[in-house]
Structure 1
Amino acid sequence: MISSLPIIDISPFLNPSSSPEARQNTASAINSACMHYGFFYLTGHGIPTSKLDQIVDLARQFFFSPLEEKNKIKRHDAGGPEGGDGARGYQGMGENITLGRRDVQEAVDLYREWDHSSASTSSPSTSRTHKTLQGPNLWPISPPELKNVYLEYINQLQGVGAALVRAMGVSLNLDVPSPGADANTEDQEIFVRNTDRSFWVMRMIGYPPLSTPLKDGEDPTEFSCGEHSDYGCVTLLLADPTPGALQVLAKDNKTWISADPIPGAFVVNIGDMIERWTNGLWKSTRHRVIHRGNNYRVSVPFFYEPNFDAMVKPLGKLVQRTGGQAVHEGNTYGEHLMGKVFNNFYSEVLGEDCGKLVD
C-alpha cells in the first residue's frame, strides 16, 4: 500500500504578517491536494504536540473505563424518556453501521450546542425531552479534566478550520472580497462566512483489533469503519500512532493509500459539502478504517461543518469552470444534516475518521 499524501503548512493563513507569496504557495498546494487526493496532512496549525497527545490520552482513558461508566452518557433516541437527542453521547461496540455492516468501534459524539439556528433560543432546552440534535452534549464524567481540555481544544480547532477554508477560497481563484459582502457573495471569503458559526462535530473513537484473518489478495469482510465519504465540509483528524489503519481510495478507484499519522500533523479531507460548493471540481474521497494491529486504536476527528442555516449550492464561477451544469440545486446544511439523521441513523449511523451518517 502506497503512502504519498501531500503535506501542507497552513501557518501563512494563521499569521497576519505572512507574505502574499507564502499564502499563495499554501493555497496552490491545497488546490493540488484537493484535485488529486481529497486528503492531505496539515502542519503549522499552532497546537502543541503535547496538547494533541493529551487529547488522545484522555479519550483512551474514557474507553478503558468500565462499560457501566460509559453507558452513563449513552446516546438515546430523540424525544424519548431518556432525554436523548438522537445523536449526542456514547455508542457501544458494533452500534455504528456502514454499508450494512456493523463497524468494530465504539465512540462518543459531541456537537456544537444548539445556539444558532434561526428558530433556536440562545441555549439548549432545559426540558427532559429534546428534538433531534437539540439536546446538550453528554460529557464523560471520567477522566474529570476531559471536558475542559476538549472545550479549549475545540476552540483552537475552529481557528484552524477557519484558516483552512479561507485558504481554500483563495486556492479556487475566487474574487477578492469587497465591502458589503454577505453569506451568498461568491468571493474568497464565502466558505469563511458560511462556517463562522460552524455546526461542528467532534468524535472520540476507539477501535479494538479486528479478529477475522485476511489472506493476501482477499477483500476484507470485517471493518473498523466501512468505506464512505464524509458528508460535511472539512475533517481534521487526530489519531494515535497506529499504522496501516486509515486507508484512502486513490482517484483510480482501485488503489488504497495509507494515511498513517505524522506526529504533530492532522490528516485532513474534504467532505461532500465542499464537493457541492465546487460543483465537483474537488471531490470528497472515499476512505475506510481496517485496524489489524495488536493495540487498541484511538482517533479523535473534528468535523468543521457549515453553519446550520448555511445555503450550500454550486458556486457560479465553478459551475462555468466545470462545464456549465450545476450538480445540485442547493439547500441549507441543516436540511441536509437532518435528512441524514432521519433517513440514515438506524442503518447508516455516525461514521469515522470516518465521518458521520455515511452514504
Structure 2
Amino acid sequence: MSRDYAKAKPVSVGDIPVIDFAPLMLQGNVTEVSKPLMSAALNTGFFYIKNHGIDPQVIQQALDASRHFFHLSQEEKALVAVNTNQRGWLGPKMATLEGAKTHDLKEIFFTGPEFWSDEMWAKRTQIPLITHNLWPASLPELKRDLLAYYDATCLLGRQVLKAIAVGLGENSDFFEHRYTSPLGRSQLVYYPRSSQQDEADERFGAAPHTDFGVITLLYQDNNGGLQVLNKQQEWVEATPIENTFVCNIGDLLHRWTNGYLSSNLHRVINRSNNERYSMPIFFDPDADTIVDPRDFKKFVNDVSNYAPIKVADYIHSKNSKAFAQYNQSQDK
C-alpha cells in the first residue's frame, strides 16, 4: 500500500481539543465549557468530550450488540433491510458519498427515535424520516442495549447544545423548544479492514464528507481510522481517547449560524488488523424545525447566506443522493 495514500498527521490539541464537561454535567457551569467548545467549533468543528457522564457499561453493551448484529448472516440482516425512511441494515456497496470515486466499504444499521410525540407522529405522511425502527427478531438485546445508549447520548447532546447556545450569545435554552420530539438519527457502523485493492481504487471506509445535521456525537472503538481536515488543509488522525466521545458540527448548524461555525470534512480508513466499529448519534431537532440563519441575528447583518430549510427535508435530500436504496423502485 502507498505510504502517501490517505496520509494523516498525529492529532494535536490545536486541531481537536479535549473538553472537560464535568463543570457542566456536575455543576451546571455552562460558560466554562462553552468557551473552549466554541474555539473548537470555529476551528475544525471537532472536539473530544471527557467526563460526559455516560455509564461505560451502557456504551460497552451497545458496542457488543453492534458486533453481534454485523456478525449475523446476510440473510438475517436482510430481514431488516434499509428503507427510504432510513431505518434498517444498509449492506456493502450501498453508500457512495458526494464527490467519492467509488462506494464506501462500511455497513450501517440505522435507527432513530423509538417514540415520537403525538403531534410529530401525526405529520409522518407529510414529513420524511418520521417512522418506526426496524429490529431483528433474532437479536432482541440489540434494541434494549442500543436504546439505552441512544437515550444517554441524546441527553449528552442536550448539554452540548446548551454550551453552543451560550457560546453563540443566546440563552442556554435556545435549542430546547426546537428539540421537543427530536429527529435524533442513530447509526451502528461496521468497517472492514481496507485492502491494497481498496486503496488502489481510492475506496474508503467512509469517503471525505461533512455530516448533514446539527451536531454529531460519536463513540469509536480503539482501532482508529477517523481523520479530520484542519484549517491548514492537512488531514489529522482523530485518535481514539479512552472514555471520550468525538463531537462535531454538522451542515445544518453551519447553515443556521450563517457559515459562522465549521462543518469540516472527515473520512475513515481502517488500516488496523481488526474490524472497526463506531456508534454515531446525529442529534438533530424536531423534523419540522425550520433552520433559518435569521434566528441568530448577530451573524446575518441583513445578509443571509442560506435560505430557510426544514430539517427533515434537508437530511432526506442528502440521504437520497448518498444511499442506494433510494434508487430502488420499491421501499421495503
| TM-score interval for Structure 1 and Structure 2 normalised by the shorter chain | 0.7 to 0.9
The residue aligned with 1:104 is 105
Correspondence list, 1:86-235, <5 A: 86-98=85-97, 99-100=99-100, 101-113=102-114, 115-116=116-117, 120-121=121-122, 132-174=128-170, 176=171, 188-212=172-196, 221-235=202-216
3-state SS of paired residue (1:146): helix
The residue aligned with 1:248 is 228
The one-letter amino acid of 1:54's match is Q
Q: 1:49 to 1:121 in 2, by over 3 A?
A: same
The one-letter amino acid of 1:325's match is V
1:40 aligns with 2:21: no
Q: Sequence identity, in percent?
A: 30
Q: Counterparts of 2:257 and 2:319 in 1: how far apart (Å)?
A: 24
Q: Counterparts of 2:262 and 2:118 in 1: how far apart (Å)?
A: 28
Q: Deviations over 1:319-359 (max 9, x none)?
A: 25xx652111212212223333445544999xxxxxxxxxx
- Determine which structure has the larger helix proportion and give its number: 2
Equivalent of 1:13 in 2, 6, 24: 24
Q: Counterparts of 1:345 and 1:48 in 2: how far apart (Å)?
A: 33
Q: Counterparts of 2:73 and 2:169 in 1: how far apart (Å)?
A: 52
1:325 aligns with 2:303: yes
Q: 1:119 to 1:30 in 2, by over 3 A?
A: closer
Q: List runs of 5+ in structure 2 lacking aligned partners.
A: 1-8, 328-332
The one-letter amino acid of 1:234's match is I
Asked whether the equivalents of residues 162 and 196 of structure 1 are also in contact (C-alpha less than 8 Å), the reply is no
Q: Deviations over 1:143-180 (max 9, x none)?
A: 33121121122111121111110111111222x4xxxx
Asked whether the equivalents of residues 22 and 51 of structure 2 are also in contact (C-alpha less than 8 Å), the reply is yes
Q: Deviations over 1:80-125 (max 9, x none)?
A: xxxxx44211011111111342100111100225735857339x89
The offset of 1:131, in angstroms, is 8.8
The one-letter amino acid of 1:70's match is K
Q: List runs of 5+ in structure 1 lacking aligned partners.
A: 77-84, 177-187, 350-359
The offset of 1:200, in angstroms, is 0.7
Tell me the TM-score normalized by structure 2.
0.86
Correspondence list, 1:263-302, <5 A: 263-302=242-281
Q: Counterparts of 1:136 and 1:166 in 2: how far apart (Å)?
A: 28
